[in-house]
Structure formats: structure tokens, C-alpha cells
Amino acid sequence: MRLQSLTALVKMELKKVIRQPAYLFLSILFPAVLTVTFVFAFGDPELGMDIQVMVPGVIAYACIFLIMTVAQSFSTERQLGLLKRMNTTPMTPGEFMGSHVLTNMIIAFVQVIVVFTISVLMGFRPQSGLSSVFLAFPIIILFSLSSVGLGLITATVSKTPEAATGVSFIFILPQMFFGTFVPVTATTRQIAMFIPSYYVVDALTLVFAGDWMNPHLLIDVSVISFFSVVVVALGILLFRKYGKS
């Protein structure tokens, strides 16, 4: 894998996101709209969902939508025949896949900044201070790998961008209801423990609370790391084998 080619591909993918309004909205503007909407609609302390509680879930939920954008992107490129043309260029499959992974990790990084900035402006104050956001970055960027992997799996089974949008919600909805801004009860926790976003929200909650030495934080990060690496590896394998035709 050549670093120069990889860097050029990442720049190309980022320009594509900027030039396409739909992708730009889902990738960058959607987290901002999501944050404002959820805080006004559900940020009621009497419901146990004030902004201090909601922000970790909103950050994770914004990253989950990478599943849809990744699936749509790969499905569109396949539909236009761009994936077949790749075989006629000096670009290797590793460089192609690597550029998409890095591009979406950068997008996840920007999403964290957008959500965190808007949340602070709306009254969010992490107990550990604003410096805690620097610990949140690696957690959510690591989690973005799982969204990329699930997006690739979605693109593998979806022959059109429209189908990819629908199929992606198979992975988005469970993480929405059992792991992000919706409070987890004793009953739903039994399901949530099998969903990666549950561990992301728990880790971010501990980080923003300043409870960095809590052993649960190490468990959360370990689970996120394992799941993300396995899913992105599986997604790349399946897409390279079945997703280009």
C-alpha cells in the first residue's frame, strides 16, 4: 500500500463528500441538526434525559449514520461501474478500501467536534472539563470502524443505493433503541450488551464524568476495539468477494 496513493484517494473522497449535498448533510450537517432536535425534543430533566445525559448518545448516534453513507457510496460506485474500472488502474484494493476507512474516520472526527461544540453552546458541561473531549475522540473514531464495516456489509447485499438506504436501518435502528440516547432499562440491557453503541455511550459517559480509572471504561474500550476490528475486516472481506458484481 503506497502512502502517496492512499493520501490522494482520501483527498478525492473528502472532495466528493463536500461536492455532494446529500452526503455532506448526512455526514456533517445531520449531526448538528440531530443534536439541536434531540435536546429540544427530549432534553427534559424530569424524564431523566437532560443534555448532560444525552450528549454521549447523540455523539454515538451521529457516528452510526456512517453505515448509511458508506453503503450508499459503495453501492453508487458499483452501479456506475467505477469498481470494475478500478481493476484497470494502478490502484490496489488495499489502497481503495483503506482510503474509504480513513475518510470515514476523518468524518467521524469532524462529527465529534460538531456535536460537542453545539452541545456546549446549548449548556452541556462535562464534569471533567472540556479536555475530556480529547479522550472522546479516539473512542468514537475507533467506533467509526464498525460503522464502516457494517456499511460494507450493507453494500454487499444491496444492489442499488436506494436498497442500501433501507437495509442500513437493520443495523441503525437496534443501536438507536438499545444503545444511544434512549435510556437502557434492566430488561433492554440484556439486548444492549450485544450492541457496540451501548459500550460507546457507557465509555463516553465515564469520560465526561471524569471517572477515567473506572474498570468498566477499559472493558468498554476493549469490546469496542474487538467488535470494530472484526466487523471492518469482515465487511472488507465480504465486499471484495461478493460486492463488486
Cα angle 114-178-27, degrees, rounded to a multiple of 5: 25
- Mean pLDDT in residue range 103-129: 83
Stretch among 56-60, 130-134, 163-167, 236-240 having the lowest mean pLDDT:
130-134
Would the pLDDT of 127 be above 90? no
pLDDT at 168 over 80: yes
pLDDT at 193: 87
Can you tell me the distance from the alpha carbon of 31 to that of 54, in angstroms, rounded to the nearest whole number? 13
Biggest CA-to-CA distance, the chain? 60
pTM score, whole prediction:
0.84
Look at residue 217 in the predicted model and tell me its pLDDT. Answer: 92
* Proportion of the chain above pLDDT 90, given as a percent: 11
Could you give the angle at the alpha carbon of 209 between the alpha carbons of 140 and 189, nearest 5°? 65
Task: Give the per-residue pLDDT at 230.
Answer: 92
* Among 71, 210, 67, 81, residue whose Cα is nearest residue 144: 67
Residue bearing the bigger pLDDT, 226 or 12: 226
pLDDT at 203: 92
- Considering only CA atoms, give the Rg of the chain: 18
Statement: residue 189 has pLDDT above 70: yes
Spatial CA neighbour of 30 closest among 150, 103, 115? 115
